[in-house]
């Protein structure tokens, strides 16, 4: 960034500081400055991040959109296309080499078989939601690629699902920023603790389900 651009970013940061000084904690100004220094280069970065997997980054961008630093529509468009193209690539890799590659990794093959079971059971609904399932997205696209699903069908539903994903997480970030501004100085701490509590509850439920499945699997042979 040249000196003129840097000075412009700093001036804009001061403007944000004055506008939000009663609503935002001082620590938030660090990432505000970071977003401003990236400028329009933030959108290609968001595209690349979403190409692989980047919910947190999209939420982060949504918070910037709430402050007027990031254009919400450009953000959504960047991560929408990035997510869509990323999963199309994984689908192609699954179609081309998936079965041979999975056969060399038994744990991944078992995971892919479970995903194919979900695909058979839920159909299009699974394509719409697998992005929201942690640790499933990339292997899901590979597994679906091995299923024989037509290219056109996956492309159509993958495009719609990527849009839902993009709007959901960008919107969540926007609302997160709005809530942090409304709560004030302790906003990020309160929201962080709330998120940790929800995450802890989710892990507890998953752990109970895992223990029950293990117990059921252990008793099945005896029967």
Question: Taking the domains of the chain in order of start, what are their residue ranges?
Answer: 3-185
Whether the per-residue pLDDT at 6 is higher than 50: the answer is: no
Which of 47 and 198 is assigned the larger pLDDT? Answer: 47
Predicted confidence at residue 107, as pLDDT, reads: 82
The answer to whether residues 159 and 84 touch, using CB atoms and an 8 Å cutoff, is: yes
Predicted confidence at residue 187, as pLDDT, reads: 57
Predicted confidence at residue 90, as pLDDT, reads: 93
3-state class (DSSP) for residue 171: helix
DSSP characters over 69-99 = SS-HHHHHHHHHHHHHHHHHHHHHHIIIIIH
Alpha-carbon 173 to chain mean position = 11
Note the pLDDT tens digit of each residue in 159-190.
999 999 999 999 988 888 777 666 665 655 66
Band of residue 126 on the pLDDT scale cut at 50, 70, 90: very high
Predicted confidence at residue 183, as pLDDT, reads: 66
Rounded Cα gap, residues 157 and 159, in angstroms:
5
Q: What is the pTM of this model?
A: 0.70
Most confident of 1-10, 24-33, 137-146, 197-206: 137-146
Whether the per-residue pLDDT at 22 is higher than 70: the answer is: no
């Amino acid at each position: 960034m040249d000196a003129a651009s840097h000075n412009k970013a700093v001036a804009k940061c001061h403007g944000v500081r004055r506008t939000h000084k009663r609503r935002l904690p001082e620590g938030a100004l660090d990432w505000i400055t970071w977003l401003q220094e990236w400028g329009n280069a933030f959108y290609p970065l968001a595209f690349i991040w979403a190409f692989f997997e980047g919910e947190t980054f999209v939420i982060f961008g949504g918070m910037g959109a709430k402050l007027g630093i990031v254009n919400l529509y450009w953000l959504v468009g960047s991560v929408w296309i990035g997510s869509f193209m990323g999963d199309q690539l994984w689908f192609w890799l699954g179609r081309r080499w998936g079965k041979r590659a999975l056969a060399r990794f038994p744990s991944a093959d078992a995971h892919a078989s479970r995903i194919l079971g979900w695909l058979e059971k839920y159909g299009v609904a699974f394509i719409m939601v697998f992005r929201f399932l942690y640790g499933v997205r990339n292997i899901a696209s590979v597994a679906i690629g091995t299923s024989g699903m037509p290219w056109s069908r996956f492309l159509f539903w993958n495009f719609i699902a990527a849009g839902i994903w993009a709007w959901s997480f960008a919107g969540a970030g926007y609302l997160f920023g709005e809530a942090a501004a409304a709560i004030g100085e302790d906003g990020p701490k309160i929201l962080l603790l709330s998120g940790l509590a929800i995450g802890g509850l989710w892990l507890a439920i998953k752990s109970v389900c895992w223990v029950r499945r293990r117990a059921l699997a252990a008793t099945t042979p005896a029967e």
